[in-house]
Amino acid sequence: MPMIQAAAAQAKQSDWTSLPQSELVYMQLDTGLVVIHLSQSVAPKHVAQFSSLVKSRFYDNSSFYRVIDGFVAQAGKAEEKSDVPTLPPEFTRTIPTKSDFISVQSPAFFADEAGFINAFAAGKDNETKEEWLIHCPGALAMARGTAPNSATSDFYIVIGQAPRHLDRNMSIFGRVVYGMEHVQKIKRASLTSVVSQGGVISDKAKQTKIKWAKLGDELPNTQQLTLAVQNVAATPFQQRLQDAKSLKHEFYVYPGSSNIDVCYYQPKIKVDNI
């Protein structure tokens, strides 16, 4: 291949970042296959404990027992006493000396700046010098009680408009990168339960089950999906943001406010082997 073509091919490749199987959790739900990409950036202890629980088959045959349409789908083994250790809060991180935070909106509406840490929507507070992951649709976080350090193993996935009041109050450690439509099929609690029982589905037969959850590198090659996420720093994604800020296409009568909601503009995912 001539050098220029090779360079172009290389540039093209870097528009996407491959997701290592070791950072992926595959969950086979009653409703379909879901894959989660774990993020070490803000909550490494949560990733470590979650991965370890996955490997120990902790979540196999557990279920989504609290599901509120437009809010979250929460899963785990709420009712069983377990000896899983509690986790320290990892709601935010101190801005590292060389931060990989890429700003796309400043000022933002719920933070000084909004952008991405790797491919994860993130916020930044320049006064307190903190960064955190944002509760966008598909975000994965550990549930907890009133005490900030009470999280153990129950987790939730955001399934509606971003619940931004939970930002900096919960430890986010991943996001759904495949099968979000199967997450959206998870059985909801009734309106009555939402009002009187906080959205818990008391009839176990009506809970959507997690048949099994496995790390990508526990699976045979034939079951692994070849996933890649848009590189936030690369031209196509930056162009997408630019287009979003100006809305120049003739379709638009109103050209927009030039503000960006990072939860709407999350990096796209591609799957190369299906």
Which residues bind to a second copy, rule: CB under 8 A?
69-70, 89, 91, 109-111, 136-138, 146, 148, 159-165, 167-169, 180-181, 184-185, 188, 191, 195, 244, 247, 250-254, 256-257, 259, 261, 263-264, 269-271
Closer residue to a second copy, CB minimum distance, 44 or 148: 148
Smallest separation, CB 146 to a second copy (Å): 5
State which residue, 61 or 202, has the beta carbon closest to a second copy: 202
| Least distance to a second copy, CB of residue 220, Å | 23
Q: How far is the CB of 159 from a second copy (least distance, A)?
A: 8
User: Which residue number, 22 or 226, has a Cβ lying nearer to a second copy?
Assistant: 226
State the nearest-atom distance from the C-beta of 251 to a second copy, in Å: 5
Q: Which is nearer to a second copy, 22 or 88 (CB)?
A: 88
Read out DSSP for the chain?
Answer: --HHHHHHHHHHHTTEEEPPGGGEEEEEETTEEEEEEE-TTT-HHHHHHHHHHHHTTTTTTEEEEEE-TTSEEEEE-TTS---PPP----S-EEPPTT--EEEEESS-SSSSEEEEETTEEEEEETTTTEEEE---TTEEEE---SSTT---S-EEEE-SS--GGGTTTS-EEEEEEE-HHHHTTSPPPPHHHHHHSTTB---GGGSEEEEEEEEGGGS-GGG---EEEE-TTSHHHHHHHHHHHH--STT-SS---S---TTTSPPPEEES--
Which of 180, 200 has the CB closer to a second copy? 180
